[in-house]
A and B are shown apart, each in its own frame.
Chain A
Amino acid sequence: MILHRRKLLTAGAGLMGTALLGGCDRFAGTDTGRRTLQVGEDANLYVQRLLMGPATLAREFPAAMISPWFKPNGTIDPPDRAYRALAAKAFADFKLTVDGLVETPLSLSLADLRALPSRTQITRHDCVEGWSCIGQWAGVPLAELLKRAGLKPQARYAVFHCADTLEYAGSQDGAFLRPGQPGAVREAYVQLAAAEDWGGAPTATDAPAADWGQGSPDPEPDDKGRPIRYYESIDLYDAVNPQTILAYDLNGKPLPVSNGAPLRLRVERQLGYKQAKYVMRVELVESLKGLGQGGGGYWEDRGYEWYAGI
């Protein structure tokens, strides 16, 4: 009798365990599941912002702690023609656009940006995968740009439109990618997709001025589908933090292409995938609904948290 009951209990526990875990994966795939799992992110955002202020800084490190090699990640060499044309001239023709819900849209060259007040900080970069590197960043505080452009009262988020194509719309091949993946893996895939514009020296006709996310038909002349370039967003709470900069230097030298030349966002209280590389345009918006699939960023639209403070 006892033995029988024991067997029953053990079998029951095993069955419950299997059902629980198989059920977990199915649950996570439903809308209710996704919404439920989102609760953790909302709680993290709310509590972390209770514990810090808008101006709270991430830890800064002594120069002796700078990592000998700052691991480049994600895109490390954008295949896009427009970008390659800019890079070929050392970004002499580069202009950063600041527009959207601003009083005065800006268009600034690297020289213009370098002439603005700058901030230098030695901070730790934390990848969503788990690894960390310390680097010294110099750049223009985003708050400086926003001050010059003048925010319209409805502006709530800064959206960063980047130059690097990660995948082509309609292609399923991008689904297996993740932000921490060694750049080479994703690069190999995008290069494959962009094979036609890879390798040849860009010419003036080859390099139409890309509109960096303004929604008009994409200039990329191909039949692979519309390229999806990296995009990210932060809210004004993070945008006006003194450490939130558009960095043009890494470790005292101009930012290398692999780390996001000519400009990359640093938003130091969040994970690596928020630190958008190859930033071409900063757009101020009221809502993230119209951007991508509405998650607020390339990886956010693929399941990652918009608030990457944890």
Chain B
Amino acid sequence: MAASPALEAPETVDRHGRRWFYRHPLVIRLAHWINAVVLLVLLMSGLQIFNAHPALYWGAVSTFDDPALAITSEQGGDGKSRGVVTVGTHSLDTTGVLGLSRGAGGADVERAFPAWATLPADQDLATGRRWHFLFAWLLVINGAVYLLYGLFSGQLRRRLIPDGDQIHDFGGSVKEHLLLRFPEGTEAKRYNVIQKLTYLVLVLGLLPAMVLAGLAMSPGMDAAWPWLTELFGGRQSARSVHFIAAGLIVLFVVVHVLLVLVSGLVNNMRGMITGWFSLGRDRETAR
């Protein structure tokens, strides 16, 4: 096996013969939990903002009659309203969740995302924007601390860059991961290659793209840095990219939480709360 700094990280063995490894330094643990709360607030306030004009376009401006995506409600032939998501020329009945959903008062309300998914729960663009912009700053500050710490401590490289042997055995790693076979012992001291690449895409791709696409929608930023809005192909494209990237981050979180559950909730949570991760009681130490 090629030398990997992660695999050589120090560990201790308790009196029951269980191997322990200090997996997450304090800064990373704090950054993780702050990020979790911040992303939830950003998502929900973002959906509130989206609800103010629930349609997406490409390019600089809105072409109101043919949006790329729209969440609306329309009256059916029976006189009943229904929620509809339209993507291009395809539409889907989403009554109850998107377009038309139960409001706080119990009656059906016409709104793109339902009350339980938005912050504030009621339709309130002004307050939604205030939450969004305050927490966007927290995301950026928290992300900057994480990245600077990660770079200078070597944690970023150790955690996110695949080791040589992992790249050679890429196919094997993918198969192990898809079969939900999680490594134990020394190998559990590092993320597998799919984890590393996923986190890499999230940390250096999706989250920065999210921030930049958000800034690209700002008329003030467009005046200061016109290249930024242009990078996304115009303000409305930037808004669409922001929405799609949000969807991908939600997808990441769902898969992430599922994998935390199936790969050992207690050990994973203990690791991210106290830093200590158990490598199990393997034969090397239980001699």
Contact = CB atoms under 8 A, between A and B. Distances in A.
A25 interface: yes
Nearest to A133: B61
A154 interface: no
Contact of B52 (A21, A130, A176): A130
Nearest to B44: A21
A44 B52 CA distance: 21
Contacts, number: 148
B44 A303 contact: no
B79 interface: no
A129 interface: yes
Contacts of A129: 52-53, 125
A203 interface: no
A contact residues, range: 35 or more
State the majority secondary structure of interface residues on B.
helix
A126 B235 contact: yes
A41 B223 contact: no
Given A41-B133, A52-B224, A269-B220, A65 B53 contact: no
Contact of B266 (A2, A61, A303): A2
A310 B60 contact: no
A41 B134 CA distance: 8
A126 B216 CA distance: 12
B137 A43 contact: yes
Contact of B220 (A52, A127, A299): A52
A40 B120 contact: no
Contact of A131 (B64, B125, B126, B133): B64
Interface of A: 2, 5-6, 9, 17, 20-21, 24-25, 28, 36-41, 43-44, 48, 51-52, 56-59, 61, 65, 67, 69, 71, 124, 126-134, 176, 178, 180, 268-271, 299, 302-305, 308-310
Interface of B: 37, 40-41, 44, 49-50, 52-53, 55, 57, 60-62, 64, 119-121, 123-127, 129-131, 133-137, 215, 217-226, 229, 235-236, 239, 265-266, 269
